[in-house]
């Protein structure tokens, strides 16, 4: 019997502020299978980005755990979680998070180099060609458009062939046409690579393209809608 690629078990996140204890996430439970896509939706402040950070092991829940490809993330120390993340998870951020002093090629090579891959340059170049940036390998982020920067970020996320791709408002800083092209590329690469995709979005049109919609309200998971296909 195969295990889910992501299993979230009773995850609660609380922080202390001047008024007392603030509950950001409250007893979240769900699973996702390999190759599934899911949109985390909800109003601003509902806990979407916090949940995404916990799925990656970047943030630690107050209680509960996340199993990533069968591994209990929060039974590990920070270094061990980082090692699991490096080999299993890709990230795409709204703000791109490219390193300004590195070229497009060097940005995409970086996660491969951290994994000790000897073919980092060739693999990164090939991935940039796949996202339509074969002529932009030596360009720095400052001379790339927003859409081009996001495609570099997408190439960097996919180049390690992750089992899970996490995306936080990946088209939020792009105009509609550019965002739509980036989104189509993301879903196509998701299908081609068989990666499980989890994205945070406020856009209902994007959410309906996913297999599942995880709806948060004030930190609680109030529905897990499956998108029906014809």
For 182-219, letters b (16+ CB in 10 Å) and e give bbebbeebbeebebbbbbbbebeebbebbbbbbbbeeb
| Dihedral angle sign, alpha carbons of residues 91, 92, 96, 102 | positive
Cα torsion 44, 201, 115, 181: sign: negative
End-to-end CA distance of the chain: 29
> What does the alpha-carbon distance between residue 109 and residue 102 come to, in Å, rounded to a whole number?
10
Give the residue among 178, 162, 159 at the shortest CA–CA distance from 89.
Answer: 162
Note down pLDDT in tens along the chain; length 230 residues: 467 999 999 999 999 988 889 999 999 999 999 999 999 999 988 999 999 999 999 999 999 999 999 999 999 999 999 988 888 898 888 888 899 999 999 999 999 998 889 999 999 999 999 888 999 999 999 999 999 999 999 999 989 889 999 999 888 888 888 888 888 888 888 888 889 999 999 888 889 999 999 999 999 999 887 654 44
pTM of the predicted protein model: 0.86
């Amino acid at each position: 019997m195969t295990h889910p690629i992501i299993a979230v078990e009773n995850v609660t996140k609380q922080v202390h502020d001047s008024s007392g204890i603030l509950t950001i996430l409250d007893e979240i439970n769900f699973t996702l299978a390999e190759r599934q896509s899911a949109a985390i939706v909800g109003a601003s402040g509902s806990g979407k980005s916090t949940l995404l950070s916990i799925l990656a092991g970047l943030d630690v829940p107050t209680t509960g755990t996340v199993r990533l490809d069968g591994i209990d993330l929060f039974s590990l120390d920070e270094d061990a979680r980082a090692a699991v993340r490096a080999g299993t998870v890709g990230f795409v951020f709204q703000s791109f998070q490219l390193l300004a002093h590195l070229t497009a090629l060097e940005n995409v090579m970086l996660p491969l180099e951290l994994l000790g891959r000897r073919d980092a340059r060739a693999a990164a170049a090939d991935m940039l060609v796949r996202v339509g940036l074969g002529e932009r390998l030596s360009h720095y982020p400052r001379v790339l458009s927003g859409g081009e920067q996001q495609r570099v970020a997408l190439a960097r996320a996919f180049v390690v062939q992750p089992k899970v791709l996490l995306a936080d408002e990946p088209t939020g800083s792009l105009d509609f046409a550019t965002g739509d092209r980036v989104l189509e590329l993301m879903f196509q690469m998701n299908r081609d690579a068989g990666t499980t995709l989890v994205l945070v979005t406020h856009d209902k049109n994007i959410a309906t393209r996913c297999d599942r919609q995880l709806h948060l309200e004030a930190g609680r998971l109030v529905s897990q809608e499956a998108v029906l296909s014809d």
